[in-house]
């Protein structure tokens, strides 16, 4: 009697192991960039037949010996050559049929980087920056992931010093304001914006001015060291 039960349990366990350990986990990175006064996202042509012609986010399956954060940094590194960039986990997406090759649960991350200063390794063709406003349809559920990530970014942006990776090291308040305006999708009053930013005390006046402008140049600032978010080691402020 006991033996039968034992066997049964073992069998059940074997079955259940097969039943359950057969999902793939992926990481999808929503890599935001900023250039030409527009918020952009890095997309690649999907290589799946099912999504022929559509773009997708940069993602990959998580390896057996890789944790989620490591996978996200690997993907970023592989595609952009960067490894000192801040990544933030956004949400897990796990609809049953979201991936044509099988059950793939994906964890979305977003990242921010300055397009001008980090030219892509464009060896992979079909890897391009796209203006957010022009992104309509993406492969998989990636449009939903993109929308969720943008909302997440918008919620963080006024409370936390996250956006500075989108700008060059030195930037003017006008540039910063334009960046906020593209992220939030609203126009901001210049004077009030400056007050709000300066009171947060994130910025360092580096005593330099803009150059090569056809009008009065503004002062240049950089983020204070303690608010630079280079990598996960950095504490959340």
Per DSSP, the three-state class of 77 is helix
Burial of 67 (0-12, 13-18, 19+ CB in 10 A): exposed
Q: At what angle do helices 173-184 and 190-200 cross, to 10 degrees?
A: 100
As measured in angstroms, the least distance from the Cβ of 217 to DNA is 6
For 37, residues 6+ apart whose C-beta sits below 8 A from its C-beta are 178, 182
* 172 part of the interface to DNA, by CB under 7 A: yes
Task: By CB under 8 A, name the one of 1, 49, 53, 67 that touches a second copy.
Answer: 67
CB of 178 to DNA, least distance (A): 9
Residue 178 is a binding residue for a second copy (CB under 8 A): no
The residue within the footprint of a second copy, chosen from 17, 124, 200, 224 (CB under 8 A), is 17
Q: Please pick, from the candidates 10, 92, 209, 234, the single residue that binds a second copy as defined by CB under 8 A.
A: 92
> Is 173 one of the binding residues for DNA (CB under 7 A)?
yes
Give SS3 for 137.
Answer: coil
- Closest contact distance (angstroms) between CB of 207 and a second copy is 37
Q: Say how far apart CA 40 and CA 110 lie, in whole Å.
A: 12
What does the binding site for DNA look like in residue numbers (CB under 7 A)? 172-174, 189-192, 194-196, 199, 209, 213-219
């Amino acid at each position: 009697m006991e033996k039968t039960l034992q066997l049964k349990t073992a069998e059940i366990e074997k079955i259940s192991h097969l039943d359950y350990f057969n999902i793939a986990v992926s990481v999808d990175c929503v890599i935001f960039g900023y250039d030409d006064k527009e918020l952009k996202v890095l997309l690649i042509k999907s290589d799946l037949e099912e999504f022929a012609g559509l773009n997708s986010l940069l993602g990959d399956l998580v390896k057996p010996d890789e944790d989620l954060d490591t996978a996200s940094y690997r993907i970023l590194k592989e595609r952009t050559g960067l490894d000192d960039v801040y990544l933030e986990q956004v949400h897990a997406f796990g609809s049953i049929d979201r991936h044509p090759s099988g059950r793939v649960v994906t964890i979305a991350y977003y990242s921010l980087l300055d397009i001008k200063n980090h030219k892509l390794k464009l060896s992979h063709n079909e890897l391009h920056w796209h203006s957010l406003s022009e992104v309509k349809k993406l492969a998989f559920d990636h449009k939903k992931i993109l929308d969720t990530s943008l909302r997440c970014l918008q919620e963080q942006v006024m409370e936390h010093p996250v956006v500075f990776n989108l700008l060059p090291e030195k930037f003017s308040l006008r540039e910063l304001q334009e960046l906020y305006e593209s992220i939030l999708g609203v126009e901001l009053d210049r004077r009030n914006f400056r007050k709000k930013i300066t009171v947060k005390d994130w910025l360092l006046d580096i005593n330099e001015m803009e150059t090569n402008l056809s009008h009065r140049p503004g002062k240049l600032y950089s983020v204070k060291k303690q608010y630079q978010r280079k990598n996960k080691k950095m504490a959340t402020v």
